[in-house]
Every structure is written in C-alpha cells, then in structure tokens.
C-alpha cells in the first residue's frame, strides 16, 4: 500500500537538460546583464522583448550548428488551427519577424537589444543545457559599415564595463564576401558566370554543397591547423581517433588559394587588407569585402580602437549560414585551467555579423542588418574565473527567536535594520532548538545573528554575534589579532542597528 | 509568378495571443521589478530562476481557473523517452518541485522570490495574453503564522515602494479553514464524522463537489452581492442575460450560515474575529482558522500595520483549490475610468495564501508553505494610471550625418557625449536626405540633434538643435516665453557636450 502510493508521486526533477538557478547565480547574471544593457542603452539601442513562442514557419531553418542540421526546436501544434508553434532558438530570427511585422512603426535604422532565454531541442551534455541566456544587439536597416564598426566598438566597451580589462580580450573581424571572392576565384570556369542560364547542374553543386563543405573545413582551422585544413580541403585525413575523414576534393592550387586567405593576417590591419586584396584576385565580390573591411578598420582606428582591441583576422568564419558580410568574434585571451588542470585560452564569448537576407524572407525586400550575440553563460564563467564576480555577498542578518510569544519584538528588530539599509530576517522555523537556528544562520551565510532572550529583554539589552569572526576563530583559535575582537557583544536594545552596522563594516574591511 | 513567390513567404506575425514589448514598455517593467526585488531581497528572500520547461507530471493539475478546468498548458512529447514536457503556467508549481528536489541543500525555512514569464494555453482575448509575467515571493517550510504576516507586511511595503501610496491600497486577509469550519457546521449529520468508515457515499459528495460549488458561489459575492449569493446557494437565479443558473441547493439555514460568514466583517479586526468565532460554532478547524487570523492581525498591529493597510475580510475567497489556510488579496482602492468611461475601482493586483500540500505531492511529507503572487501587468497598468511611470524619458541625442566621408567625426561626438553620461547615436540610414534624418530623430523621440556640415567644420563650430522646444514653437509660435530661447544654437566644437547638457537640463526643468 505504501509502495503503491509512492509510485503514484511525481518525481521532483527538472526535465533532462534543464536546470534551476539559485540566489547568487541569478543575482550575478542580472548584475552583468544590467551593465551590458546600460552600455547598449547609452549607444541608442532600445530594449525589445519578443514573445518566447513563434510560429515554426517564421523561425525558419537557421539553426546555427551546421554540422547537425537536424538539431531542432521544441515545437507543438495548436489545437484549433493546426499551426505549429515553437520556442525561439535564438534572438535573431524573432528580431527579423518583429522588424518585418512592425517596420512601419519602428525607426529605420532600428537599433535594438534583447536579453533572455532561448531553447534548443538538442541532446544535453555536461555543461550543455537546452535552455540558456542570450544577449544580443543589432542594427536593422543600415547598410553602412559604420553600423558594423559601431557594433564592434560597443562590444569592446561592453566587455570592459562588465570587468574584462583591455588586453584580456580581442575582437576579430572578417568578411564573408572575401571568402566568397576566394571561392569564386577557385570555382571551375562557368560557375562564376552571373547569368543563371549558363550554369550547369554540376556547377551549381559547387556553389552550394562545395562552398558549405569548404566553410565547415576552414572553421576547423583553430583545431587542426594549417596542415590539417590543407588535407581536409584535398583528399582527407586520419583524425585523432584513427577514423579517415573524407576531404572536400580541391586540387592543390585551389587549396593554396583558400589557405593563403586563411593565413593572410599580417602585423597590421593594412598588411592584412593587402594580403586579402591579392587573394581575391579579380573577384568583384571579394574586392567589395576587402573594401568593407577597410572602412571598418579606418572608422575604428579613428575612434582609437587599435588592433590590440579590434583586429582584421581572416581565420574567423562563424558557422552560421545566414551571414552575408562582415563577421565578428570576441575572444578572451587569458588562460584558465581546463577540467584536466591544463592551461588553455578562455576562447570565444561573443559573435555576430551582417545578415542582409533575414528580413527579406518575410517581406521580399532586402533589409540590411548586423549584430552581435553575447554568450551569457560563457562570459559569466570568464568573470568568475577572473574573480570579478561571486563570493563576496553575505546572507541576511538573522534575528533568532528565543521566545515565540514575542515574535512582534523580533519583527520590530528586522524592521529597524531594514530601515537602515541592512538585509535582515527573523528565523521562521521551529525555534525550540537554538542549535538549529544557528545551523540555519550558517546555511544562509548570515554575517550576524541577533539574540534577545527573556533575560536580555528584562535588562534591555541584545546579544550580537559576529558569525564571520566566530567561524574564523573556530578555524584558528590561537591567532592574536582576533582575541581583541570578541565574536559576541552585548549592547543596549537602542544600539542594535549601530552595533550591527559596525560589525558588518569591520567584516568587509 | 510574383504571386506564387509571395505565398511561399512566412507571415511576419506573433502567434495568436502573444505579443512583443518595445523600449519603454520593457524598461518600465524592469524598473518596477527591480524595485520589488530590492524589497524582497531586504526581507531575506533569495532569487530563484527555475527552468521554463517542466514535466507535465510534476506540474500537476493546479491551474487556477476553477471554472475552466480544461484550460491548459503548452505541452509536447520528448522524442527519445516519450516524456511529456510543458511550459510552466505559474511560479508556484515549479517552486514545489524545486523545493522537493533540492530540499537537502536549501535552508529551511526557504524564502525565495521569482519573476518571469508564465504561459497558459487558453483562448486569447482583448488584453488577455498567453504569455505574461508573474512575480512571486514564498516561504517554504514554516508553519508559523508569522510567515503569513511577513508576506502581507512585505506586500504592503512593496506596493508603497513601487509608487502606490498608503491609502490607495488595502490587503485583505481571510482563512480557508474558517470557511471549512462553516461548511462543517452546515454539513448533514454524519459527514462531519472524522472516522472515514461511518461516511456514506452521499455524504462524501457534500465534502467534495458541494464544497467546491459553495466556494465558486461565494467567489461571486463581489459581482452579485448578498442577495445574489443567497439565491445561488439555494435554488438558483436568473442572471443578467436571462439564463437560469442552477443553485447549490442549500436550505435557508445553511445559506444563512454561509452568508453570516461572508458578511462577518466588522469595524475593527477584533469585531470581525468575534463574528467569525460565532459563525464557526463548535467546528475545531473553524476555531483554528480564527485563531490563525488573530495571530496574523496581532503581529501586524504590533508592527504598525493597521486595518487601513491590512484588514481581516471574510469575503476574500481566492479561487485556487490548493490553499489550505490564510489567503491574501491586495486591492487598489482608487478609481479609474473603464473602457466606457465609467469610474470603477482598480481592483486586485496581487493574491496568495498558504498551501501546505503542494510539496507533499512529491515527497509524501507535509511541508508548510505560504506566498504571494503579484500580477505584473495589472500593477504596471495601475502605475501608469497614476502617472507614476511612463512618458518622461526622451530618446537619445541624434548626431546627423552631413558628410558621409566624415563618419569618424560624428562617432567622435557621440563618444564624447556618452562619456559625459548622455545617451547618443549617429544617424546610420542613408544621409542623402536631411529631412529623413530629422524625421528619424522625431521618431526616436530625440531631445537634441547635432549638425556639423562642411561649413561648420571649417569654422570649428556645431549646430545644436533643441527638438523639444522646436516642436513646442511649431505648435504655438506666438508664445512669448519661447522667443527668448532659440531652438537652435551654434557653439564651438569644444563646447558641444556642455551645450547639449545645458539644453537637456533646460528641457527637464
């Protein structure tokens, strides 16, 4: 009977791949997002909070993980009209829908920022959740490279404002058009013709599948290096596990051209731009890409953003298929220890680029757009690794209950403390066992406990216990310096607030 | 062909019953929630952000609208193990799951607050959305009435902190146990027996269905008044549309008892409590309910919360089936005009109560809990109605583009303005038509526009245009006072920031 009852109980579990965030985790993320929002706001970006639910039709198929195009969304069908709805998987697809829907009421260009959870129906793994935060800023309706430069500059300022000092980050900028120019140059004759009618089916395949393959391959530059990419662009290579990975099938000359693009980064932006100019040869789209990068570099240099902060780097690819021009990536350059204790660079915390075709899906009219997305959890992890957040805030002052008939007295105390700006609470569990009250204060991270028993009440005094000092003394009872500071003091009831304040500031000092 | 293409485009529309929030709407809600969070935090409540997605099993069937038990959730099935998942419909059910799951790591009592969207798969209507914000504070693990009193006191302080002045709100407190006591007293002999074995099937029906019917009926007290409730408790009544509503079928004596409960509110809390004491007769659960209310009233009185702010009121029922003790409701008492221009009381903005059985669903062990939920949109609407938020913030200063080769100059200007704490942006649309730039500044709500053409650049000056004053002059060109303040001034480039600041503070003054 008892067993039967137990089985009918629901399990108290978050669904697989989801998690809860408690106390300081929520506060710290909020603090960081508030700082980011303040920068975005100062730059003239307006907040937007679109609905978490979209029609599947309007979300489209732009999931970022090109290697796993089947990775999906959480979707369901409406009962009345069979419309498929889904949770948004990022903040860019909803922005395109919002702009298309409200374009007559919105200013053009429309600068907006958005922060909030997104959902991915993917296989969860360690540290990989199916709900996570994104934080985006985008400019819709401006074709000017000044919009891209502004996004990069704002990203640099944002990183510094949240606590990543100059020198610990670099924003790398590339242009998808330059890559397209390189691919045009190496494409078999005929596939480069602008006139659709002269293209053959085989040639089109080079345009779509081959280009996607090349994109995926050069995105592995960081992992497998120049030699690895060369093999993968050609016949293929044995990977670390011993499996043979098929190559893209370019000939040596073609692979050379791709690699000369990937490694075109020089000591200065000017050198890099010259190298890229050579690589794109006579491709007009390639030349346009180089010209766009030059404008971005010039605008940023004029505002004092040198290549120590924002740099042209052809090895930045960014997987997303929808980018059409400049792409950006913010990387943190300091080292942390990985799970095996080896030092490694922290890596990417934000990425973005220009996507001129997303709004066109809805309206048929091209609407240029560019933007950036910050990986909120990655950036929080970086700030924790640098000791910029976490570990400093105490819990509330806990007023203990010595006499349950005098709850009003204890509430009076926390009222006085709060009025003085001090976080405080009365113990609301069963007060019978005083040890439990102290355990509770410990679990709450309380810095101070207040005690007023019958004897104290009669004498008009309260006991104030320094729990931080108390635990230090408990750890090391011989230290001289702490002997002068008693861990518990008795003061008159009227001095309660002053004494607690004094104790708190001594703890912080 | 063109038509065919158009049909294949996705529609740019939020799904039915969902909406987007723009700029000031997002900022104002955030500002209000920040203020609420500050109060909750000061009272020792910790933030909790649980996942938006729960298993359907763990959400249970506690949807608040008792009249429409089929109103549902957005749910879908996992592909791999066929688990049903759903979006949370409130923040209380997830709290019960979180506490049951993490109870060994959480302090007891656990005070937590949560704010965020919830989703209801209901038929949308005007002003009725399927995604909306809730903002809850709960204490789990305390059976003490001091926890309920604290929630009420904190709610009062919260309302005052966000901008509802004392006198414009009242928090009404009742106790479900008192009502249960009344129902015990009027139940047919035999159904009151504690021993299950002596109950008959018919008598059990009075316990469940009849009690739910009575609950629903007295919840209509506000709408149909004393006489209406009397009819509905008895044989039934004709409603406004002419339809006959079946009654609950109580006899006169039973209905009298229910009505004497509903109308027991006296001039003081003490009078109300005495009236309730009489109404519950010899019911022990009823007496317990009255005793609990007395404790709450005494604790609040000792802290200075008189019945002008928090009052015992037996007419508060709160539909939710899961309440087991005290129930609370915060009502705004000022009048607003309804959609037809008639004055009416603003009404409820928050509600809550004690629900001792929600965690037990998971663990089998009773865990007492009490809390409050603020209707975020209702409270925002109230603050707007009172002029406490909205309509004050300007857009950014807009720096116009007179020469697209000198974008760096314009970015330099906004950089200086931002460094001085002034929100500013460069126009990033096509700069060819200056009129469009001014239209853009207008749409942005820009208070000031900055102009630096080739001539100004040569002379080392900038034009600064007061757009607020400009539009006032345009509205009423004859007003003397504005003639002295020119709507456009020329200053040296070095004085840009000072002049803009001066203009902004003159606008605010």
Task: State the CATH number of the domain containing residue B28.
Answer: 3.30.930.10
Least confident of A86-100, A470-484, B362-376: A470-484
**Would you say the pTM of this structure is higher than 0.95?**
no
Tens of pLDDT, residues B209-252: 788 888 888 888 878 888 999 999 999 888 878 888 888 888 89
- Note the Cα A189 to chain centre separation in Å: 43
Which of 428-447 (B) contact A at CB < 8 A?
428-429, 440, 443-444
Q: Are B109 and B95 in contact (CB under 8 A)?
A: no
For position A103, what pLDDT does the model report?
A: 95
Domain of B502, CATH number, reads: 3.40.50.800
Q: Supply φ then ψ for residue B339, to 5 degrees.
A: -60, -20
**Pairing of β B21-22 and β B53-55:** unpaired
Whether pLDDT at B199 is above 80 = no
| B20/A303 touch (CB, cutoff 8 Å), yes or no | no
| A107/B444 touch (CB, cutoff 8 Å), yes or no | yes
Q: Which of B12, B45, B436 to mutate to test the interface with A (most CBs of A within 10 A)?
A: B12
What is chain B's length?
509
Distance CA A268, CA A262 (A): 16
What's the pLDDT band for A391 if we cut at 50, 70, 90?
low
Q: Which of B357, B385, B413 is the last residue of a domain?
A: B385
Question: B148 and B259: one domain?
Answer: yes
Distance CA A489, CA B1 (A): 87
Q: Compute the average pLDDT of residues A191-206.
A: 50
Q: How high does pLDDT run on average in chain A?
A: 88
| B51/A97 touch (CB, cutoff 8 Å), yes or no | no
Q: Compute the average pLDDT of residues B144-164.
A: 97
The alpha carbon dihedral of A158, A159, A162, A167 has a sign of negative
Cβ neighbours for B306, distance < 8 A, ≥ 6 positions apart: none
ipTM of the shown complex: 0.90
Tens of pLDDT, residues B462-501: 999 999 988 877 777 665 655 666 789 999 999 999 999 9
Whether pLDDT at B183 is above 90 = no
From the list A22, A50, A428, which residue is nearest B142 (CB)?
A428
Question: A211-218 and A176-186 are packed helices; what angle lies between their axes, rounded to 10 degrees?
Answer: 120
Other beta carbons less than 10 A from residue B193's beta carbon = 12
| A428/B144 touch (CB, cutoff 8 Å), yes or no | yes
From the list B44, B51, B362, which residue is nearest A9 (CB)?
B362
What's the pLDDT band for B34 if we cut at 50, 70, 90?
very high
Computed over its alpha carbons, how large is the radius of gyration of chain A?
30
Question: B368 and B446: one domain?
Answer: no
Question: B330 and B416: one domain?
Answer: no
Q: Compute the average pLDDT of residues A301-330.
A: 88
Chain B residues lying within 8 Å of A411, measured CB to CB: 146, 149-150, 153, 299, 302-303
Question: B81 and B202: one domain?
Answer: yes
| B43/A139 touch (CB, cutoff 8 Å), yes or no | no
Tens of pLDDT, residues A1-42: 344 444 578 999 999 999 999 999 999 999 999 999 999 999
Tens of pLDDT, residues B303-351: 999 999 999 999 887 665 678 999 999 999 988 887 788 888 888 999 9
Whether pLDDT at A62 is above 60 = no
Q: Which residue in B472, B60, B106 sits closest to A11, CA to CA? A: B60
Cβ–Cβ contact A408 with B under 8 A: yes
For position B49, what pLDDT does the model report?
A: 98
Asked whether residue B241 is assigned to any structural domain, the reply reads yes
DSSP structure class, residue B365: S
Asked whether residue B391 is assigned to any structural domain, the reply reads no
Least confident of A160-174, A223-237, B58-72, B362-376: B58-72
With the CA atoms of B20, B22, B28 and B34 taken in that order, what torsion angle do they form, in degrees rounded to the nearest 10? 70
Whether pLDDT at A64 is above 70 = no
Q: Are B355 and B89 in contact (CB under 8 A)?
A: no
Least confident of A83-92, A313-322, B159-168, B433-442: A313-322
Distance CA A341, CA A343 (A): 7
Q: Which of B385, B414, B431 is the last residue of a domain?
A: B385
For position B8, what pLDDT does the model report?
A: 77
Q: What percent of chain B has pLDDT over 70?
A: 89
Q: Which of A2, A6, A7, A15 to mutate to test the interface with B (most CBs of B within 10 A)?
A: A15
Asked whether residue A1 is assigned to any structural domain, the reply reads no
Cβ–Cβ contact A138 with B under 8 A: no
Range of the domain at B434: 397-508
Distance CA A169, CA A158 (A): 11
Which of 326-365 (A) contact B at CB < 8 A?
361-364
With the CA atoms of B21, B24, B25 and B28 taken in that order, what torsion angle do they form, in degrees rounded to the nearest 10? 140
Q: Are A142 and A45 in contact (CB under 8 A)?
A: no
Asked whether residue B85 is assigned to any structural domain, the reply reads yes
Q: Give me the number of domains chain A comprises.
A: 1
CA distance B455 to chain A (A): 21
For position B4, what pLDDT does the model report?
A: 44
Distance CA B452, CA B107 (A): 62
Q: Are B300 and B311 in contact (CB under 8 A)?
A: no
Q: Compute the average pLDDT of residues B100-116.
A: 96
Asked whether residue A439 is assigned to any structural domain, the reply reads yes
Asked whether residue A402 is assigned to any structural domain, the reply reads yes
For position A206, what pLDDT does the model report?
A: 60
Strand partners for B22 = A48
Q: Compute the average pLDDT of residues A56-63.
A: 75
Cβ–Cβ contact B132 with A under 8 A: no
Chain B residues lying within 8 Å of A426, measured CB to CB: 146, 150
Cβ–Cβ contact A298 with B under 8 A: yes
Whether pLDDT at B67 is above 60 = no
Asked whether residue B10 is assigned to any structural domain, the reply reads no
Cβ neighbours for A386, distance < 8 A, ≥ 6 positions apart: A163, A164, A168, A334
Q: How high does pLDDT run on average in chain B?
A: 88
Chain A residue with Cα closest to B38: A423
Q: Compute the average pLDDT of residues B292-307.
A: 94
For residue A109, cis peptide bond before it (omega within 30 degrees of 0): yes
Q: Which residues of A252-266 are buried (b: 16+ CB within 10 A; e: fewer)?
A: eebbebbbebbebbe
Q: Are B179 and B279 in contact (CB under 8 A)?
A: no
Cβ–Cβ contact B82 with A under 8 A: no
Q: Which of B22, B45, B57, B364 to mutate to test the interface with A (most CBs of A within 10 A)?
A: B22
Full 3-state SS string of B142-203: CCCHHHHHHHHHHHHHHHHHHCCCCCCEEEEEEEHHHHHHHHHHHCCCCCCCCCHHHCCHHH
What's the pLDDT band for A184 if we cut at 50, 70, 90?
confident
Tens of pLDDT, residues A277-286: 999 989 999 9
CA distance B313 to chain A (A): 22
Asked whether residue A123 is assigned to any structural domain, the reply reads no
Chain B residue with Cα closest to A148: B428
| A131/B49 touch (CB, cutoff 8 Å), yes or no | no
Cβ neighbours for B16, distance < 8 A, ≥ 6 positions apart: A78, A83, B124, B130
CB pairs under 8 A between A and B: 265
Q: Are A397 and A450 in contact (CB under 8 A)?
A: yes
Question: B362 and B409: one domain?
Answer: no
Distance CA A64, CA A71 (A): 9
Tens of pLDDT, residues A331-376: 999 888 877 888 888 889 999 999 988 899 999 998 999 999 999 9
Q: Which residue in B386, B359, B285, B372 sits closest to B327, CA to CA? A: B372
Q: Are B348 and B329 in contact (CB under 8 A)?
A: yes
For position B340, what pLDDT does the model report?
A: 82
Question: B482 and B336: one domain?
Answer: no
What's the pLDDT band for B364 if we cut at 50, 70, 90?
very high
| B101/A22 touch (CB, cutoff 8 Å), yes or no | no
């Amino acid at each position: 009977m008892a067993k039967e009852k137990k089985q009918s109980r629901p399990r108290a579990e978050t669904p697989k791949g989801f998690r809860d965030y408690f106390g300081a985790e929520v506060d710290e993320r909020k603090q960081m997002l508030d700082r980011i929002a303040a920068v975005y706001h100062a730059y003239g970006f307006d907040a937007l909070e679109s609905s978490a639910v979209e029609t599947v039709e309007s979300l489209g198929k732009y999931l970022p993980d090109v290697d796993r195009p089947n990775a999906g969304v959480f979707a369901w069908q409406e009962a009345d009209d069979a419309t498929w709805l889904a949770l948004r998987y990022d903040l860019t697809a909803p922005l395109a829908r919002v702009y298309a829907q409200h374009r007559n009421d919105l200013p053009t260009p429309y600068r907006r920022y958005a922060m909030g959870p997104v959902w991915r129906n993917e296989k969860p793994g360690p540290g990989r959740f199916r709900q996570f935060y994104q934080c985006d800023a985008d400019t819709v309706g401006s074709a000017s490279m000044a919009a891209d430069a502004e996004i990069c500059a704002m990203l640099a300022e944002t990183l510094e404002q949240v606590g990543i000092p100059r020198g610990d980050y670099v924003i790398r900028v590339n242009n998808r058009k330059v890559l397209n120019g390189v691919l045009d140059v190496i494409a078999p004759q005929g596939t480069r013709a602008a006139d659709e009618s002269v293209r053959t089916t085989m040639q089109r395949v080079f345009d779509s599948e081959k280009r996607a393959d090349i994109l995926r391959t050069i995105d592995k530059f960081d992992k497998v290096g120049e030699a690895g990419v060369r093999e993968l662009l050609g016949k293929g290579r044995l990977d670390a596990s011993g499996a043979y990975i098929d190559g893209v099938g370019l000939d040596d000359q073609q692979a050379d051209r791709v690699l000369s693009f990937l490694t075109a980064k020089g000591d200065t932006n000017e050198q890099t731009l010259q190298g890229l100019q050579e690589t794109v040869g006579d491709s007009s789209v390639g030349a346009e890409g180089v010209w766009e990068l030059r404008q971005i570099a010039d605008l940023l240099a004029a505002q004092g953003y040198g290549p120590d902060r924002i740099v042209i780097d052809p090895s930045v690819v960014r997987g997303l298929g929808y980018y059409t021009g400049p792409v950006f990536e913010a990387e943190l350059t300091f080292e942390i220890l990985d799970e095996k204790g080896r030092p490694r660079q922290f890596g990417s915390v934000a990425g973005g680029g220009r996507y001129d075709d997303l709004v066109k899906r809805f309206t048929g009219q091209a609407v240029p757009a560019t933007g950036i997305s910050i990986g909120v959890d990655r950036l929080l992890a970086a700030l924790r690794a640098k000791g910029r957040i976490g570990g400093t805030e105490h819990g509330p002052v806990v007023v203990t209950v010595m006499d349950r008939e005098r709850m009003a007295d204890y509430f009076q105390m926390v009222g006085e403390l709060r009025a003085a700006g001090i976080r405080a609470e009365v113990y609301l569990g069963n007060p019978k066992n005083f040890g439990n009250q102290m355990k509770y204060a410990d679990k709450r991270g309380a810095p101070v406990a207040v005690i007023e028993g019958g004897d104290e009440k009669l004498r008009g005094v309260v006991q104030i216990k320094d729990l931080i000092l108390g635990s230090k003394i408990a750890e090391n009872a011989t230290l001289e310096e702490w002997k002068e500071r008693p861990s518990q003091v008795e003061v008159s009831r009227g001095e309660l607030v002053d004494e607690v304040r004094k104790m708190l500031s001594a703890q912080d000092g």
